[in-house]
Structure 1
Amino acid sequence: MMQRTARFLFCFSLLTGCLLGSPLMAADKEPAAKADKPTIVTFGDSTTATRGPLVVYSMILEKELPAAGVPAKVVNSGIGGHTTHQAVGRFKKDVLQHDPDLVVIQYGINDSAVDVWRDPPATQSRVSVEQYDANLRKMIKQLKEKQISVILMTPNSLRWIPRMKKLYGKPPYDPEDVQGFNVLLKSYAAAVRKIAKEEHVPLIDVYAAFENYDKQANQAADDLLLDGMHPNTQGQKMVADLLLPQIKAALAKQDQ
């Protein structure tokens, strides 16, 4: 009887030792490493968001990055009509909760818009350039605090089409000037350049790229636009091509 009791106690001690030891062993383990496949969030307005059958730059990147040796997950968090005001409000849910390694930010067209088509007409931009600057810096600060890489993009430049002239062809816009739809937008693009320089973050100057394309013989910025405002497939491909090397460089820097 005493022998059986001793054997029972011995076995019980082994069992409880294993059970009690399990949490300690688990706690001693290294935390699970983040997946090798980095996550990239593209954050913006309707020039970033998916639009029906249009192939947007996030889709192009998701295909081209693996071919360039960077198999990445690309999350498109663009929403049409949004300004940096809404962007700040949804930043945690639509960006940070994806636990990204890198975030691409592009806003400006809606921020700069003066809705002269309203009754009575608006007289100021939806978001002032000063508040636009502050909103972008606020998002960049949050990303830097979490050691998440960021790439800023200027908005693309615009061109008149009849429908846009009907809506926006009043002061401060000039429907008789080919650049008349960019009269305010260009200062928002300049603000992005300034922020990128001061915050030491990479910049993709889409505005300048579209304008430089327009200056070449037998080319026009209209070739890159669906409707005078949103990049078409060719315009989206240009943006993706500009982004690709910057994304590779930013992710490579993280690995160092």
Structure 2
Amino acid sequence: MDPLGLSSGVRTAGREPSTHCIVCFGDSITRGYGLPEGRSWPSLLEAALRAREDGGAWIVVNAGVPGDTILQGLARLERDVLSHHPDVAFIAFGINDAHLARRKTDVYREQALWEDVQCRPWRKAIVEMGVTRHLRPYWRRLRSPSRDAGMATLHPEPIPRVSLPAFRRALEVIVERLREARPGIYLFLVTPTPITEHLHPEWPAELRRRQHQVFSSYVSAVREAAATLGTGLVDAYRTIAQGDMRQLVGSDGVHLTIAGQRQLAEAAYRAMAEAGLVTCKT
């Protein structure tokens, strides 16, 4: 029995029938920022999968982009994820979203998300009616953020780059679109990894405390989304927090060391094993 369901036709044209594709979709933690090539958790996961002796070939695509929020990720979903026709996808955002450093471009992206949510139902109906070509210019105009969009929401005090409601909704949209495009795909949400006291040492103590409080709410949001949406969960926060943080998180207070990346790769492998996609390593 093929637990990935490839025998039912969910397969990439030109790929070997026994080859499974995994896309790891996220930010600098997924990319393995600051580490040598091959030391990111997606690369280590691929090495572990290829070392198995029970057959099947695996391709793991690293679609992590440093600095990306989930809204920036959503904008490249087609190019960086769906274009690979994945059988499995790990969705790992949250650190940049919770960062108390909102920019004007973050406001524009969030406004575009809500416009898309409101317009998508009737846009789908228009596509089905076959009149997309005539309405495309109007659609582009509607989706483009206005020049002064969101300026009233910019506060002098730092706020998260992506609001918690928008973060939750973006998770839902990504899961919906992946399932729509790839029926039978296995999805895993990955919580943000912990931040430490070394993040932004130049900030006042009160602001640093607030950053940790805000960050915790985004970790919880990912856990809740996994339960609500029925996806798998890789609790990267708990995985790293239960270890020696001095060894697993770098001196900048956010990016993982090689040891931290290894821990995360093992957690991802365990999640796949629990889903019945691979056998547990002994």
Q: Match of 1:212, as an amino acid?
A: Q
Aligned to 2:100: 114
Decide which of 194, 197, 204 is 2:234's aligned counterpart. 204
Q: Is the 8 A contact 2:21 2:61 kept in 1?
A: yes
Query: Structure 1 residues 190 and 37 mapped into 2: Cα distance closer, same or farther (>3 Å)?
Result: same
Q: Match of 1:239, as an amino acid?
A: L
Alignment partners' CA distance in 2, 1:236 and 1:244? 12
Query: Structure 1 residues 208 and 199 mapped into 2: Cα distance closer, same or farther (>3 Å)?
Result: same
Report how many aligned residue pairs link the two structures. Answer: 209
Aligned positions of 1:173-192 closer than 5 A: 173-174=208-209, 181-192=211-222
Query: Structure 1 residues 98 and 32 mapped into 2: Cα distance closer, same or farther (>3 Å)?
Result: closer
Aligned to 1:139: 174
Which structure's relative contact order is higher, taking Cα pairs within 8 Å and 6+ residues apart?
Answer: 2
Report whether the alignment pairs 1:51 with 2:17: no
**What percent of counterpart residues are identical?**
28
Normalised to the residue count of structure 2, the TM-score between the two structures is 0.68
Alignment partners' CA distance in 2, 1:244 and 1:129? 28
Aligned positions of 1:244-255 closer than 5 A: 244-250=269-275, 252=277
Give the SS at the match of 2:264.
Answer: helix
Aligned positions of 1:82-97 closer than 5 A: 82-97=68-83
Decide which of 217, 237, 257 is 1:232's aligned counterpart. 257
Alignment partners' CA distance in 2, 1:109 and 1:164? 14
Alignment partners' CA distance in 2, 1:122 and 1:34? 53
Give the SS at the match of 2:238.
Answer: helix
Offset at residue 209 of structure 1 (A): 1.9
Aligned to 2:164: 129
Offset at residue 246 of structure 1 (A): 2.1
Aligned positions of 1:64-75 closer than 5 A: 64-68=48-52, 69=54, 70-75=56-61
Report whether the alignment pairs 1:159 with 2:159: no
Aligned to 2:223: 193
Offset at residue 63 of structure 1 (A): 0.8
Normalised to the residue count of structure 1, the TM-score between the two structures is 0.74
Q: Is the 8 A contact 1:222 1:228 kept in 2?
A: no
What are the ranges of 5 or more consecutive residues in structure 1 without an aligned counterpart?
1-30, 175-179, 214-219
What are the ranges of 5 or more consecutive residues in structure 2 without an aligned counterpart?
1-12, 104-154
Offset at residue 170 of structure 1 (A): 5.4
